[in-house]
Every structure is written in C-alpha cells, then in structure tokens.
Structure 1
Amino acid sequence: MEKDFLEEFINKATKENDAKIAQEKRKKYFQELGRKGGLKTKENKKLDKVISIRMNNSEYEILIQKQEKYPLKLSTYIRNVLFEKELKINEFQTDEVLLHFGNNFKKITNLLRNREWNVFENKKEILAKIEATVDLIHQYLYSKTQKNE
C-alpha cells in the first residue's frame, strides 16, 4: 500500500514537472519568436534612388493627361512606362465582374435544385448550361492567373 502511494506520488510529481517544463519551453519559444520580430515581413523593393527631370508645361500636361487614365501615382506611371511594363489596370475590373457573374450563377443553380422549382420541364438542361458557363468562367480566370505566374 505504501508502495502504491509512493508510486502514485512520484507519477503525479513527474507529470507536474513535465507540464511545467513544457510550459517553460512554450514561453521561451514565444520569447524567441518575439525577438525575431514575429512573422516574416514581405521583402519590398525599396525605391531609394531619386531622379529629377525638367520639362516644359506642355510636356507636363501631356504626361498628366496620359497618367489620369490609370489610377496610379505619377511616379509609378512613369516607372511602368519607362520599363515598358504593361498597364493592365482595367483588366482586373473585368475579372471582378466575371467573378460576380460566376457567384450569381452558382446561386441560381442552388435555387433551381430546390423542390419548389419543379415547374420547369427543362430544368436539367438549364442547370447543365449554367454549370458549363460557370466552368468556362473559372477556366478563363485560372488560365489568366497561370499566365501571370
């Protein structure tokens, strides 16, 4: 009986000790993580070089008129034109519209699957056409993202 009590006491003490050690390790881990600064920050390319140019008023007005077509700062616009990067700002708006259409088509298919809509004789054909349209939208959008990568 004394041995059972002693063994139980030792087991309990070792479990408490292990829990305390695990808590300290966890605390040290998060302290070390805090020293590292937490999550990694994105590496952004710092724009640290400044170039100033002179131009007359007419050149400046032309530049401003071209830049106003895009929702970019003037310096970003000049940098993109200088390095011949494509300005595809309005392209993302069409993608957004397509995503909204796809979501609406999904909602329509979910509504048509309910029992209340058994009035339509060609319900299966409608569902098939909507699903084909949604698949085409997704294929188009995913092919664009794969091209960009």
Structure 2
Amino acid sequence: MKTDNLKIFIDKMAQENERKINAEKRKKHFQEIGRKGGLKMKIEPQLSKVISFRLSVLEYEESLEKARKFNLKLSTYSRMIHLGKELKINEFRIDEILLKYLNNSKKITNLMRHREWNMFENKKEILAKIETTNDLMYQYLYSKMNERNKQ
C-alpha cells in the first residue's frame, strides 16, 4: 500500500515538474519572438533618414507612372532609383518571361511525346533541341538564383 502511494506521489511530482519545465520553455520562446508573441523583430535597420527633393509636375507624373508599372510605392521606387536598384526589377521581369517560355516548351515536348506526331520525320531531333534549350534556360535561371542568394 505504502509503495503504491509512493509511486503515485513520485509520478505526480514528475508530471508537475515536467509541466513547469514546459511552461518555462514556452515563456522563453515567446520572449524570443517578441513581447506579444508575434513575429521576430527585424534585424535590418529601419528606414529612419529622410531625403526630400522637388520634381516638376511632368517628372512627378512620369515617376508615379513607372512606380505603378512596377507595382511599387513612389517612395520605394524613388529609393531604388537613387540607390541604383532599378535594373534588378527588370531582371525579374526577364526571368518571368523566360519561365513562361520554359513552361510552354515543356508543354510542347509533352505533347510531342505522348501523342502521335507521325507527320514529323525528325521528331527526335526536334525533341532533343527543345530539351537542350530547356536545360540552358534552367541553368541560366538557377545561376541567377544562386547569385541573388549569395548577395
């Protein structure tokens, strides 16, 4: 009888101790991610300095139009131009177009493989050329992606 009570007491104490440890871990976790339990604080420095400049009405409208074209706010677009980062936006556009071409050529190769295309005598040559261009496009895109990740 006494051994059973002792076992039960030890089990309860172990469970209570485990609950305390879990509560401390949870508390430390939420302290790490922020006071309110939200996202982690940004490590990058906040944009705190202000540069102001004047534009003519025509210049303002042109820059506003270009910002809308790239789906950016005017301040973000102006900052990117000032820092010389506008070219990177255009690079993403080129990559998007290249991805569309890649997807379309994949569809063409799948159609040629899975359907009867007896009218082409050089079907294997066409497939080989399409696959080599696909490989080149993949290599280009992955090299671009690796360059961006290194920066």
Shorter-chain TM-score category?
0.5 to 0.7
Summarize the Cα distance change of 1:81–1:90 in structure 2 as closer, same or farther, 3 Å threshold. Answer: closer
Secondary structure of 1:113's aligned partner: helix
- The answer for unaligned runs of 5 or more in structure 1 is 1-5
Could you say which residue in structure 1 is the equivalent of 2:104? 104
Question: Relative to structure 2, which stretch is displaced further, 14-23 or 74-83?
Answer: 14-23
Same amino acid, percent of matched pairs: 43
**For the residues of structure 1 that align with 2:93 and 2:49, how far apart are their CA atoms?**
32
- The answer for unaligned runs of 5 or more in structure 2 is none
Q: Kindly indicate whether the alpha-carbon contact (under 8 Å) linking 1:95 and 1:141 is maintained by their aligned counterparts in 2.
A: yes
Question: Relative to structure 2, which stretch is displaced further, 22-31 or 103-112?
Answer: 22-31
Summarize the Cα distance change of 1:23–1:108 in structure 2 as closer, same or farther, 3 Å threshold. Answer: farther
What is the RMSD of the two structures over their aligned residues, measured on CA atoms? 3.7
Query: Partner amino acid for 1:33?
Result: H
Summarize the Cα distance change of 1:21–1:147 in structure 2 as closer, same or farther, 3 Å threshold. Answer: same
**For the residues of structure 2 that align with 1:113 and 1:23, how far apart are their CA atoms?**
61
**For the residues of structure 1 that align with 2:60 and 2:146, how far apart are their CA atoms?**
33
Secondary structure of 2:106's aligned partner: helix
Question: In the TM superposition, what whole-angstrom CA distance separates every residue of 1:100-140 from its partner, at most 9, and x where no partner exists?
Answer: 221222233233333x4363543322221111111121222
Question: Relative to structure 2, which stretch is displaced further, 123-132 or 104-113?
Answer: 104-113
Could you say which residue in structure 2 is the equivalent of 1:143? 143
Question: Which structure's CA Rg is the greater one?
Answer: 1
Query: Partner amino acid for 2:30?
Result: G
**For the residues of structure 1 that align with 2:80 and 2:106, how far apart are their CA atoms?**
38
**For the residues of structure 1 that align with 2:50 and 2:143, how far apart are their CA atoms?**
38
| Matches for 1:42-61 after TM superposition, within 5 Å | 42-53=42-53, 55=54, 59-61=55-57
Secondary structure of 2:49's aligned partner: coil
TM-score by length of 1: 0.62
Could you say which residue in structure 2 is the equivalent of 1:124? 124
Larger relative contact order (Cα-Cα within 8 Å, sequence gap ≥ 6): 1
Query: Partner amino acid for 1:69?
Result: K
